[in-house]
Protein backbone atom coordinates (compact mmCIF):
# COMPACT_ATOMS: atom_id res chain seq x y z
CA UNK A 1 0.00 0.00 0.00
CA UNK A 2 1.18 3.51 -0.77
CA UNK A 3 0.46 4.67 2.79
CA UNK A 4 3.03 2.19 4.10
CA UNK A 5 5.75 3.17 1.66
CA UNK A 6 8.84 4.82 3.09
CA UNK A 7 10.39 7.93 1.61
CA UNK A 8 13.06 5.68 0.06
CA UNK A 9 10.30 3.58 -1.53
CA UNK A 10 8.66 6.72 -2.94
CA UNK A 11 11.97 7.97 -4.32
CA UNK A 12 12.43 4.54 -5.92
CA UNK A 13 8.99 4.75 -7.55
CA UNK A 14 9.81 8.25 -8.80
CA UNK A 15 13.13 7.04 -10.20
CA UNK A 16 11.58 4.00 -11.87
CA UNK A 17 8.79 6.16 -13.30
CA UNK A 18 11.23 8.68 -14.75
CA UNK A 19 13.39 5.87 -16.16
CA UNK A 20 10.31 4.27 -17.75
CA UNK A 21 9.32 7.59 -19.33
CA UNK A 22 12.86 8.20 -20.61
CA UNK A 23 13.17 4.70 -22.11
CA UNK A 24 9.91 4.74 -24.05
CA UNK A 25 9.32 6.49 -27.32
CA UNK A 26 7.75 9.81 -26.56
CA UNK A 27 8.33 13.06 -24.80
CA UNK A 28 11.25 13.48 -22.44
CA UNK A 29 10.78 16.39 -20.05
CA UNK A 30 13.28 18.08 -17.76
CA UNK A 31 12.50 18.26 -14.06
CA UNK A 32 11.36 21.88 -14.42
CA UNK A 33 9.15 21.07 -17.41
CA UNK A 34 7.66 18.11 -15.55
CA UNK A 35 7.06 20.31 -12.50
CA UNK A 36 5.23 22.92 -14.58
CA UNK A 37 3.27 20.21 -16.40
CA UNK A 38 2.16 18.47 -13.20
CA UNK A 39 1.29 21.76 -11.51
CA UNK A 40 -0.96 22.70 -14.45
CA UNK A 41 -2.63 19.29 -14.60
CA UNK A 42 -2.98 18.45 -10.92
CA UNK A 43 -3.96 21.86 -9.52
CA UNK A 44 -7.40 23.07 -10.50
CA UNK A 45 -8.10 26.56 -11.73
CA UNK A 46 -6.58 28.88 -14.27
CA UNK A 47 -2.81 29.02 -14.48
CA UNK A 48 -0.75 32.00 -15.58
CA UNK A 49 2.98 32.43 -16.07
CA UNK A 50 3.06 34.74 -13.06
CA UNK A 51 1.08 32.32 -10.90
CA UNK A 52 3.20 29.32 -11.91
CA UNK A 53 6.39 31.28 -11.18
CA UNK A 54 5.09 32.11 -7.72
CA UNK A 55 3.92 28.57 -7.02
CA UNK A 56 7.17 26.96 -8.13
CA UNK A 57 9.36 29.79 -6.79
CA UNK A 58 11.21 30.25 -10.09
CA UNK A 59 11.50 33.16 -12.49
CA UNK A 60 8.87 33.99 -15.10
CA UNK A 61 11.42 33.45 -17.94
CA UNK A 62 12.05 29.92 -16.59
CA UNK A 63 8.30 29.21 -16.71
CA UNK A 64 8.10 30.69 -20.21
CA UNK A 65 10.90 28.38 -21.43
CA UNK A 66 9.20 25.36 -19.86
CA UNK A 67 5.88 26.35 -21.46
CA UNK A 68 7.62 26.79 -24.82
CA UNK A 69 8.69 23.14 -24.65
CA UNK A 70 5.30 21.93 -23.38
CA UNK A 71 3.60 23.88 -26.19
CA UNK A 72 5.97 22.42 -28.80
CA UNK A 73 5.00 18.95 -27.57
CA UNK A 74 1.28 19.86 -27.44
CA UNK A 75 1.17 19.10 -23.71
CA UNK A 76 -0.05 22.61 -22.87
CA UNK A 77 -1.37 25.59 -24.76
CA UNK A 78 -1.27 29.32 -24.11
CA UNK A 79 -4.31 31.55 -24.53
CA UNK A 80 -4.71 35.27 -23.96
CA UNK A 81 -6.91 35.89 -20.93
CA UNK A 82 -10.07 37.56 -22.30
CA UNK A 83 -10.58 39.31 -18.93
CA UNK A 84 -7.05 40.79 -18.92
CA UNK A 85 -5.36 40.78 -22.32
CA UNK A 86 -1.97 41.38 -20.64
CA UNK A 87 -2.22 37.98 -19.00
CA UNK A 88 -1.73 34.60 -20.64
CA UNK A 89 -3.59 31.51 -19.45
CA UNK A 90 -2.14 28.02 -19.66
CA UNK A 91 -4.56 25.41 -20.93
CA UNK A 92 -4.49 21.63 -20.83
CA UNK A 93 -4.53 19.58 -24.02
CA UNK A 94 -5.81 16.14 -24.96
CA UNK A 95 -2.24 14.96 -25.50
CA UNK A 96 -1.23 16.33 -22.11
CA UNK A 97 -4.11 14.51 -20.41
CA UNK A 98 -3.02 11.28 -22.11
CA UNK A 99 0.56 11.84 -20.91
CA UNK A 100 -0.68 12.32 -17.33
CA UNK A 101 -2.66 9.06 -17.61
CA UNK A 102 0.53 7.34 -18.77
CA UNK A 103 2.49 8.70 -15.79
CA UNK A 104 -0.27 7.57 -13.42
CA UNK A 105 -0.35 4.13 -15.04
CA UNK A 106 3.40 3.60 -14.71
CA UNK A 107 3.39 4.76 -11.09
CA UNK A 108 0.32 2.68 -10.28
CA UNK A 109 1.91 -0.46 -11.70
CA UNK A 110 5.09 0.14 -9.70
CA UNK A 111 3.19 0.72 -6.48
CA UNK A 112 0.86 -2.26 -7.05
CA UNK A 113 3.88 -4.47 -7.63
CA UNK A 114 5.35 -3.29 -4.32
CA UNK A 115 8.38 -2.16 -6.23
CA UNK A 116 11.21 -1.12 -3.94
CA UNK A 117 13.82 1.37 -5.06
CA UNK A 118 16.21 0.04 -7.68
CA UNK A 119 19.92 0.65 -7.06
CA UNK A 120 19.20 3.09 -4.25
CA UNK A 121 21.41 2.66 -1.21
CA UNK A 122 20.28 3.97 2.18
CA UNK A 123 21.41 7.54 2.77
CA UNK A 124 24.12 8.18 5.29
CA UNK A 125 24.13 11.28 7.41
CA UNK A 126 26.45 13.97 6.14
CA UNK A 127 27.05 15.05 9.73
CA UNK A 128 29.46 12.93 11.73
CA UNK A 129 27.86 11.51 14.86
Does the pLDDT at position 128 exceed 60? Answer: no
The whole-number pLDDT of residue 64 equals 95
The whole-number pLDDT of residue 68 equals 97
For residue 92, how many C-alpha atoms fall within 13 Å in the half-sphere facing its CB? 15
Predicted TM-score (pTM) of the model is 0.80
Contact between residue 48 and residue 63 where contact means Cβ atoms under 8 Å apart: no
**Phi and psi of 48, rounded to 5°?**
-120, 165
Instruction: Encode pLDDT of 1-39 as tens digits.
Output: 445 778 888 888 899 998 988 888 878 899 999 999 999
Contact between residue 30 and residue 72 where contact means Cβ atoms under 8 Å apart: no
Work out the average pLDDT over 38-45.
93
The whole-number pLDDT of residue 81 equals 84
The whole-number pLDDT of residue 25 equals 82
CA distance 122 to 24: 28
The whole-number pLDDT of residue 115 equals 61
pLDDT band at 97 (very low <50, low <70, confident <90, very high): very high
Q: Domains for the chain: give ranges and CATH numbers.
A: 2-112 (1.10.10.10)
Does the pLDDT at position 82 exceed 90? Answer: no
Average pLDDT, the chain: 85
Work out the average pLDDT over 69-97.
92
Work out the average pLDDT over 45-50.
90
Amino acid sequence: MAAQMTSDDLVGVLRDTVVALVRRDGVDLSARQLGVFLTCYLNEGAHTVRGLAQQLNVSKPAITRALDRLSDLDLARRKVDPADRRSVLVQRTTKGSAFLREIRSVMGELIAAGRAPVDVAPRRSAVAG
